[in-house]
Structure 1
Amino acid sequence: MQFASWRWNRIIAFFGGAGLLFLVPWSGLSPALPEWTIDVLLSVPVGLCVYGFTEQPRKVIALIPVGTALGIGGFALYRTSGVHLF
């Protein structure tokens, strides 16, 4: 296997995502932002790590962090709205 044939965009995405997974919680943003925003921000590095591991195209992988962020944000809005179904 030649060095030039490596998929550098996927390698960089994985290590960038892994680095951000450790950087975001220790960045000091936690006291300044609500807890759910940190969870939404952490969906981006998870998407980068998934892109680094899989062979799927970028458009397919982009749906993972976007869907996760929308789900977490929607659930946070539901919890703060005061409406309780259970």
Structure 2
Amino acid sequence: QTMRSILLPQAITSMLPVLISQLVVVLKDTALGYQITFVEMVRQGTVIGSAYGNYIPALIVIAALMIALNFALSLFATWLERRL
């Protein structure tokens, strides 16, 4: 009971910023991007590009989405570190 009510909340608050920072690193790493839907996003971009005959604009939109996702996750990690 002591572990659940005292030790575990302290451990989670100290581990959470590090875990979110690692999530940002994994999201940015293209080698591990396969496991976090990077390939699916790029594949959908190429499918949309082939449907309309314009690959470049579709892939630019996919790149902008990935950048926005990374930026939002980085901001969340910074906010969480300041709050804790």
Question: Where on the TM-score scale, by shorter chain, does this alignment land: which range?
Answer: 0.3 to 0.5
TM superposition score normalised by structure 1: 0.43
Q: Which has the higher helix share?
A: 2
Q: TM-score scaled to structure 2, two decimals?
A: 0.44
